[in-house]
Amino acid sequence: MRGLSEHTMLMNAMIGLCVPTHDWPHPLKDLGFSVDSIEPVLATKDGKKVNPDLILTSNRLTHALVVECKGGYEIDKYRKKESDDQARRYSKISNNLLAHRVSIYDPRRLTHDVTYVTNDEIAEFIKEYGYPILVFERDKLYKINSFNKEVLNSKFSSEISIKGPPPTHFFPFNDNDDPSLIALYVFQKLVKFALKTRDDSLEFDENMILKSIFGAYWKNIHETKKKKLRKKVRGILNEYSKNKELKGYLEKVKDRKNWRVTKSLEAFRKGCQKIIETLEKQRKINEF
């Protein structure tokens, strides 16, 4: 089992800058920023589309950060061409178009920065675009290029110390992360569902699982991304319902999107727990 991708880690790192969290800096929270949307689809002035990872907004500054996270790969000539095209599309985002997509108290005053978030190696290839870049290294965070808001430049004028990896509970996984890791989250949640259910029957769907895993941030995720996450969880349930630990215990409800536990919840919970133990062993072996 692989850990979270660098891309997903960077998304969590950036969200963490907006939330007071133990052992993680929160300079954006100090400026009133919070998560407005996750993986939205935005229209540009010339009718094209761009898909940032995050939009963070501050009512205090009437300002938005349109965040593009880049990590987990090396820049070659093909990726560079793709990245150059993306940067051009980001330059076509207007304050007026963006104002219709974010929650801000005075949309007429909205300003924005396209902001890249990455590691030091990729930063060298993309700094030519001129957009502000927040670079995360193992023990520090620093800025390349300038924001449109001077208060942001001031906040990131010097390196910010980082004591460890970012918290990952904000955005626990993406649809292209390791399926075994996603399965671990799914079955841990199903065990909790089984323990909380008073009678001996349980029905659930992919949305119920994901909403419980992602918590308050589920509402911020764009529907296009939600569909991909539901599809991933559906595939996991389909696969593991045939597993020896759950075969005969879990079935799809006919003509509905729900799943139903067909035998005792205690037996179902034990089956889920065995799957979790197997997945946890895989993770420990890979970490070793």
206/238 Cα distance (integer angstroms): 11
Query: Do β-strands 203-204 and 259-261 pair in parallel, antiparallel, or remain unpaired?
Result: antiparallel
**Least confident range of 63-77, 183-197, 203-217, 259-273:** 63-77
- Whether residue 133 contacts residue 123, with contact meaning beta carbons closer than 8 Å, is answered with yes
Cβ neighbours of 75 (radius 10 Å): 15
pLDDT at 288 (0 to 100): 44
φ and ψ at 65, to 5 degrees? Answer: -110, 115
- Whether residue 114 contacts residue 69, with contact meaning beta carbons closer than 8 Å, is answered with no
Q: What is the pLDDT of residues 60-114, one digit of tens each?
A: 999 999 999 998 766 666 688 889 999 999 999 999 999 999 999 999 999 999 9
pLDDT at 90 (0 to 100): 97
Burial of 66 (0-12, 13-18, 19+ CB in 10 A): buried
Q: Please give the mean pLDDT across all residues of the chain.
A: 93
194/185 Cα distance (integer angstroms): 15
Question: With bands split at pLDDT 50, 70 and 90, how would you rate the model's confidence at 197?
Answer: confident
Q: What is the mean pLDDT of residues 255-259?
A: 86
Query: Do β-strands 133-136 and 111-118 pair in parallel, antiparallel, or remain unpaired?
Result: parallel
Residue 256 has pLDDT above 90, yes or no: no
Q: For the chain, how far is it from start to end, CA to CA, in angstroms? A: 11
Q: What is the pLDDT of residues 40-57, one digit of tens each?
A: 999 999 999 999 999 999
227/95 Cα distance (integer angstroms): 28
Q: What is the mean pLDDT of residues 179-200?
A: 92
Buried b (16+ CB within 10 A) or exposed e, 153-164: eebbeeebebee
φ and ψ at 130, to 5 degrees? Answer: 90, -10
